[in-house]
């Protein structure tokens, strides 16, 4: 997950997505992971997927 965050901070969002998606599969109820997934998808312009990731946070 840390690699994904660092890559995102460096603006390498497409690369970050692989790490963030892996972390989301490993920890599907982690607020940190879902928040990062939502933000990264938004940065990539994948707004529908970003919204779906963000909505997973609501019950948490």
- Tens of pLDDT along 28-49? 999 999 999 999 999 999 999 9
Task: Let me know how long the chain is.
Answer: 60
First-to-last alpha carbon distance for the chain, in angstroms, is 19
Q: Which residues contact 39 (CB under 8 A, 6 or more apart)?
A: 8, 50
- Asked whether 8 and 32 are in contact (CB, 8 A), the reply is no
When comparing pLDDT for 25 and 4, which is higher?
25
pLDDT at 5 over 90: no
**pTM (predicted TM-score):** 0.83
CA 25 to chain centre: 11
């Amino acid at each position: 997950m840390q690699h994904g965050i660092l890559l995102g901070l460096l603006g390498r969002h497409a690369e970050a997505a692989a790490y963030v998606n892996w972390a989301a599969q490993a920890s599907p109820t982690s607020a940190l992971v879902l928040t990062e997934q939502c933000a990264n998808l938004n940065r990539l312009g994948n707004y529908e997927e970003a919204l779906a990731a963000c909505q997973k946070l609501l019950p948490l």
